[in-house]
């Protein structure tokens, strides 16, 4: 096969050696040294799409989106298949990071995805209906997996309230990688199990102006707790009972296929590496795992400062004998 007058051939031993060494360096975080080797490999074999794909990948790791787009476009120009190439996915991520919407739409379509309509007035691809997914925030630090809504193949809007250690807020949009690391499963009332991919965050794409608060609740029953979550949702914001939604998992478990609850019966999920029996983010048992309800709950709230106290006071006023709050603190 001839590409631009050159016979396509297998990469040389020198190309393979330079590339293998470069990815070892990438694994060690030595991006500058890896970049020199991958640039040398591209000079050796400029007719290989893999040469430019590898450079685009490196620039993605470095969040150098201009260079990632340029290398990615050189890679796709040399492809010998029409759809489904990961080269196009990397181009789509870079274009999304740069808000180059015409190129993003072209990339997703070239990969084989349907992109309805013309999107927003800016051309932003909207309405792809990719559903829910989970995203691992700060994957290289204190990683936390939260739920979100996929806006397109490279962005998720965070719908959970992240813990303050993640540095992320409810309502933020994060850019994420294309290859899932793990799954979360849910079981519907009828027993049907659904699996949702867990994507790794690359970087914050759009911040949220809504602060995160932590508050201690006295909620006599689950219904009292649920009432606060519903009240916040009705106001257009969110509340989340961290005492029953947060688990500490090791990396291996987090990147595996995990149920989104704690399992059935008296035993805690064997993948849960927190301390059982304590409310708050270090460990918990919900009523679903066979334990008694604990009235003291640690709750995260995403709401403006002007609204949060009124929201809590309104929650108490609806049932003052069974509800109380204290120790409200803005944490992110």
The pLDDT of residue 30 is 95
**Alpha-carbon gap, residue 97 to 54, rounded angstroms:** 18
Instruction: Give the mean pLDDT of 219-228.
Output: 96
The pLDDT of residue 33 is 95
Q: In this structure, what are the phi and psi dihedrals at residue 233, rounded to the nearest 5 degrees?
A: -65, -40
Q: Does domain 210-261+292-328 have CATH number 3.30.70?
A: yes
Cα–Cα distance list, 277 to 229, 245, 284, 285 (Å)? 23, 14, 5, 6
CB 218 within 8 A of CB 312: no
> Coil, helix or strand for 239?
strand
Instruction: Show the tokens assigned to 114.
Output: 């349907």
Buried b vs exposed e over 274-298: b needs ≥16 C-beta within 10 Å?
beeeebbbebbbbeebeeeebbebb
CB 47 within 8 A of CB 41: no
pTM: 0.81
Asked whether the predicted pLDDT for residue 113 surpasses 60, the reply is yes
- Per-residue pLDDT reduced to its tens digit, 247-300: 544 444 445 444 555 333 333 343 343 333 333 333 333 444 445 899 999 999
12-109, what's its fold? 1.25.40
**Alpha-carbon gap, residue 35 to 33, rounded angstroms:** 5
Query: Does an H or E element contain 46, and which?
Result: none
262: CB partners within 8 A, 6+ apart: 247, 268, 269, 272, 284, 285, 286, 288, 289
Asked whether the predicted pLDDT for residue 165 surpasses 60, the reply is yes
> What DSSP string runs through 268-321?
PPTT--S-TT-SSTT----GGGTPPP-SEEEEEEE--HHHHHHHHHHHHHT-TT
Between residues 74 and 285, the one the model is more confident about: 74
Instruction: Give the mean pLDDT of 148-170.
Output: 94
Look at residues 209, 212, 208, 169 and name the one whose alpha carbon lies nearest to residue 308. 212
Instruction: Give the mean pLDDT of 13-23.
Output: 95
| Two domains, one topology: 12-109 and 210-261+292-328 | no
What residue ranges do the domains of the chain occupy?
Answer: 12-109, 130-204, 210-261+292-328
CB 51 within 8 A of CB 39: no
Asked whether the predicted pLDDT for residue 8 surpasses 70, the reply is no
């Amino acid at each position: 096969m001839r590409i631009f007058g050159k016979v396509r051939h297998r990469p040389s031993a020198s190309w393979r050696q330079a590339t293998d060494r470069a990815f070892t360096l990438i694994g060690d975080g030595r991006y500058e040294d890896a970049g020199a080797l991958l640039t040398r490999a591209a000079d050796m074999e400029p007719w290989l799409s893999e040469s430019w794909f590898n450079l685009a990948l490196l620039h993605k790791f470095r969040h150098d989106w201009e260079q990632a787009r340029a290398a990615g476009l050189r890679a796709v120009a040399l492809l010998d298949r029409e759809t489904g190439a990961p080269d196009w996915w990397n181009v789509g991520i870079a274009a999304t990071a740069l808000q180059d919407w015409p190129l993003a739409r072209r990339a997703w379509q070239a990969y084989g995805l349907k992109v309805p309509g013309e999107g927003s007035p800016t051309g932003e691809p909207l309405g792809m209906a990719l559903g829910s997914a989970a995203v691992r925030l700060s994957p290289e630090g204190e990683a936390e997996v939260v739920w979100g809504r996929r806006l397109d193949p490279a962005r998720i809007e965070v719908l959970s309230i992240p813990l303050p250690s993640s540095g992320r807020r409810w309502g933020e949009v994060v850019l994420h990688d294309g290859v899932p690391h793990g799954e979360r499963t849910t079981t519907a009332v009828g027993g049907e199990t659904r699996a949702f991919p867990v994507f790794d965050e690359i970087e914050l794409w759009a911040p949220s102006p809504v602060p995160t608060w932590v508050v201690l609740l006295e909620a006599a029953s689950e219904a009292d707790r649920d009432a606060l979550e519903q009240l916040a949702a009705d106001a257009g914001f969110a509340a989340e009972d961290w005492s029953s939604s947060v688990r500490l998992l090791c990396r291996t478990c987090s990147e595996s296929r995990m149920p989104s609850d704690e399992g059935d019966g008296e035993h805690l999920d064997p993948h849960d590496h927190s301390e059982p029996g304590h409310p708050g983010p270090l460990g918990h048992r919900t009523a679903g795992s066979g334990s008694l309800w604990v009235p003291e709950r640690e709750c995260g709230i995403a709401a403006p400062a002007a609204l949060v106290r009124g929201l809590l006071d309104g929650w108490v006023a609806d049932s003052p004998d069974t509800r109380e709050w204290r120790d409200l603190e803005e944490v992110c």
